[in-house]
Amino acid sequence: MKTYNGNRREVLKKASQIMGFAAVAGIAMKETAKADGGSMSPASVGYVDHPSGTHQCSNCSLYIPGTPATANGLCKAVSGPISPTAWCQIWAPAS
């Protein structure tokens, strides 16, 4: 059995490196999730590329606008690019 002969400073240094790596990996995974939007498919929520009356993605609480605002954005619930003038069944008014 191999034993560790390092001192406390070395152990703390290694532990902080591991925690730093874990934090960076967590941030990277979160940014990847944001880049893809939500996890539900457009078909599963009845996504259509036109508004339903005055209801459209650009005035939904789940919509994340693109840049510029007229470009496709993302949805917190639906995957893929989302048109600001589209609509789906989970539309919820922005507050």
| pLDDT for residue 13 | 73
Q: Of 3-7, 30-34, 76-80, which range is least confident?
A: 30-34
By the 8 A CB rule, do 47 and 88 touch? yes
pLDDT bin (cut points 50, 70, 90) of residue 28 is very low
Conformational region of residue 46, where left means phi above 0, alpha means psi within -120 to 50, and beta covers everything else: left
Q: Copy the structure tokens of residue 84.
A: 């600001």
Domain positions in the chain are: 1-36, 37-95
Q: How do the residues of the chain divide into helix, strand and coil, expressed in percent and rounded to 5?
A: 35, 15, 45
- Write out pLDDT tens, residues 57-81: 999 999 999 999 999 999 999 999 9
- Pick one of 3.10.560.10, 3.20.20.370, 1.25.40.10, 4.10.490.10 as the CATH number of 37-95: 4.10.490.10
